[in-house]
């Protein structure tokens, strides 16, 4: 538990330093996706379920936030809880349907439902702006400045991570892991496996939707890409490349992903190709993600020190 406290302290320090080395909007984007990736890891790393549909919740959160601002000029204290509540409901329904099936079918279902919501957003142009996106999502006065907005996001992100840490340390979190390791035994010890999976799915959906709602404010537009299933792939990528075996791993994944995409798109506009290649390499050779690399380096250094 003490180590976790250090990790949070380190994270807070990095969050303060970040806007000194990065453009504030990029730093904010990283933190938004850090929430999403850590939330996804509650499903993937803790519960052992691969969801290929997290963009559903990200997108719905973003559209709710965007629409409430564009049409009603609603305040944030109303928008953010609404986005969370809506996504709890949505993840409850989608999750209920998806946990009826296990393994590969679960993945295919999350993926297909993602596509369904994408098409709703894509076809309902009068509401969402369709392919062109939903523009005119103005931040409230006090967040107009990018640095102010970044600070706001950083505080929210740290709160979200702390809440999620609390959840994975709670009985729920341990039951997620029990279901991941051995669903039959978990059932035989008195636990409703589907309910536990569903809970995990809803928790992740809620935080993902929240992050989506904040994302809408970032560039003042909700692009239809926010809900496209490739975004779900991005989320899985961040989680995995950071390291799904560790609570904080996906944060590193989000940093790496946003940094890589920003850098690559500066000189080549075929970013998905690079993403695909890196993804394939990670899956083939580095399944523990960056966290594993760091652990290996630390191991080598320790051995050197011990030897020398």
Partner 1 sequence: MTFLIVSQIINGVVTGMLYALMGVGLTLILGVLNIPNFAHGVLYAFGAYFMLAVTQLIGGFWLGVLIAPFGVVALGMLIEYFGVRQLYAAHHDYQLLFLFAVALILQEAIILIWGPVGTSILPPEHLAGAVNLGVTIYPKYRLAVMVITAAIVIALWLFLTRTNVGAIVRAGIENRGMVEVLGIDVQKVFLLTFGIGAWLAGIAGSLATPIMGLTPSMGFDILPITFVVVVIAGLGSVVGAILAGILIGLAQSLTTIWFPEAAQVVIYLLMGLTIILRPQGLFGKR
Partner 2 sequence: MALLEIRDLHKNFGAVAAVAGVTLSVEQGSLHAIIGPNGAGKTTFFNCITGEVAPTRGHVLFDGRDITGSPPHRLPALGISRSFQRTSIFPRLSVAENVWVSAYGTHPLAAGAMLRHADTIPGLDERIRDALHEVGLERHAGRLADELSHGDQRLLDFAIALAASPRLLLLDEPTAGLSRSDTQMVIELVERLKGRYTLVLIEHKMDMVMRVSDRISVMYFGRLLAEGSPEAIRGDLRVREAYLGRRA
Contact region with partner 1 (CB under 8 A), list: 4-12, 142-150, 159-167, 270-278: 270-278
Site map 106..125 versus partner 1, x via CB under 8 A: -xxx-xxxxxx--xx-xxx-
Output 185 or 303, the one with its CB closest to partner 2: 185
Render 187-228 in DSSP notation, one character per residue.
HHTT--HHHHHHHHHHHHHHHHHHHHHHHHHHHSEE-GGGGS
What residues contact 132, with CB distance under 8 A and at least 6 apart?
A: 224
Least Cα distance to 43 among 255, 205, 189 occurs for 205
Q: Judged by CB under 8 A, which of 170, 268, 280, 301 binds partner 2?
A: 170
What residues contact 60, with CB distance under 8 A and at least 6 apart?
A: 83, 86, 87, 90, 117, 209, 212, 227
Total residues contacting partner 1 by CB under 8 A comes to 37
Least distance to partner 1 from the beta carbon of 228, Å? 9
Q: Which of residues 218-247 bind partner 1 (CB under 8 A)?
A: 229-230, 233, 236, 240
The verdict on 250 binding partner 1 (CB under 8 A) reads no
Q: Judged by CB under 8 A, which of 36, 193, 227, 235 binds partner 2?
A: 193
116 binds, among partner 1, partner 2, none (CB under 5 to 8 A by kind): partner 1
What residues contact 82, with CB distance under 8 A and at least 6 apart?
A: 64, 68
Least distance to partner 2 from the beta carbon of 194, Å? 9
SS3 243: coil
What residues contact 262, with CB distance under 8 A and at least 6 apart?
A: 26
Residue 295: Cβ-neighbour burial (10 angstroms; 0-12, 13-18, 19+)? middle
- Whether residue 117 contacts residue 59, with contact meaning beta carbons closer than 8 Å, is answered with yes
20 binds, among partner 2, partner 1, none (CB under 5 to 8 A by kind): none
What residues contact 104, with CB distance under 8 A and at least 6 apart?
A: none
175 binds, among partner 2, partner 1, none (CB under 5 to 8 A by kind): partner 2
Q: Judged by CB under 8 A, which of 279, 293, 294, 295 binds partner 1?
A: 279
Least distance to partner 2 from the beta carbon of 45, Å? 10
Distance from C-alpha of 118 to C-alpha of 122, rounded to nearest angstrom:
6
Q: Judged by CB under 8 A, which of 71, 72, 105, 132 binds partner 1?
A: 105
Distance from C-alpha of 26 to C-alpha of 246, rounded to nearest angstrom:
24
Site map 246..285 versus partner 2, x via CB under 8 A: ----------------------------------------
| Residue corresponding to tokens 């899956």 | 283
What does the block give as tokens for 163? 């809440």
Distance from C-alpha of 215 to C-alpha of 217, rounded to nearest angstrom:
5
Least Cα distance to 117 among 207, 56, 202 occurs for 56
107 binds, among partner 1, partner 2, none (CB under 5 to 8 A by kind): partner 1
The verdict on 32 binding partner 1 (CB under 8 A) reads no
Output 101 or 166, the one with its CB closest to partner 2: 166
The residue ranges that bind partner 2 (CB under 8 A) are: 1, 166-167, 169-175, 177-178, 180-182, 184-193
The residue ranges that bind partner 1 (CB under 8 A) are: 50, 97, 100-101, 103-105, 107-109, 111-116, 119-120, 122-124, 229-230, 233, 236, 240, 270, 272-273, 275-277, 279-280, 283-284, 287
């Amino acid at each position: 538990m003490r180590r976790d406290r250090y990790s949070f302290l380190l994270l807070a320090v990095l969050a303060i330093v970040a806007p000194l080395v990065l453009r504030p909007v990029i730093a904010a984007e990283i933190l938004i996706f850090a929430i999403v990736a850590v939330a996804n890891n509650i499903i993937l790393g803790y519960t052992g379920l691969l969801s290929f549909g997290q963009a559903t919740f990200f997108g719905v959160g973003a559209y709710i936030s965007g629409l409430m601002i564009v049409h009603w000029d609603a305040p944030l204290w109303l928008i953010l809880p609404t986005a969370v509540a809506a996504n709890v409901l949505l993840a409850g329904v989608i999750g209920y349907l998806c946990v009826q099936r296990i393994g590969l079918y679960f993945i295919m279902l999350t993926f297909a439902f993602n596509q369904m919501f994408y098409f709703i957003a894509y076809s309902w142009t009068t509401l969402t702006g369709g392919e062109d996106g939903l523009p005119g999502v103005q931040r409230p006065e006090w967040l107009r400045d990018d640095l102010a907005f970044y600070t706001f996001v950083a505080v929210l992100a740290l709160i979200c991570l702390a809440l999620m840490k609390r959840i994975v340390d709670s009985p729920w979190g341990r039951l997620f892991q029990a279901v991941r390791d051995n669903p039959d035994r978990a059932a035989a010890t008195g636990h409703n496996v589907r309910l536990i999976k569903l809970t995990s799915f809803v928790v992740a959906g809620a935080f993902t939707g929240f992050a989506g709602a904040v994302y809408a404010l970032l560039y003042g537009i909700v692009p239809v890409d926010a809900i496209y299933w490739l975004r779900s792939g991005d989320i899985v990528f961040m989680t995995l490349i950071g390291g799904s075996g560790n609570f904080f791993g996906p944060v590193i994944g989000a940093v790496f992903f946003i940094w890589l995409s920003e850098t690559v798109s500066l000189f080549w506009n075929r970013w998905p190709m690079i993403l695909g290649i890196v993804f394939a390499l990670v899956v083939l050779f580095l399944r523990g993600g960056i966290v594993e690399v760091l652990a290996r380096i630390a191991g080598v250094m320790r051995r050197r020190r011990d030897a020398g």
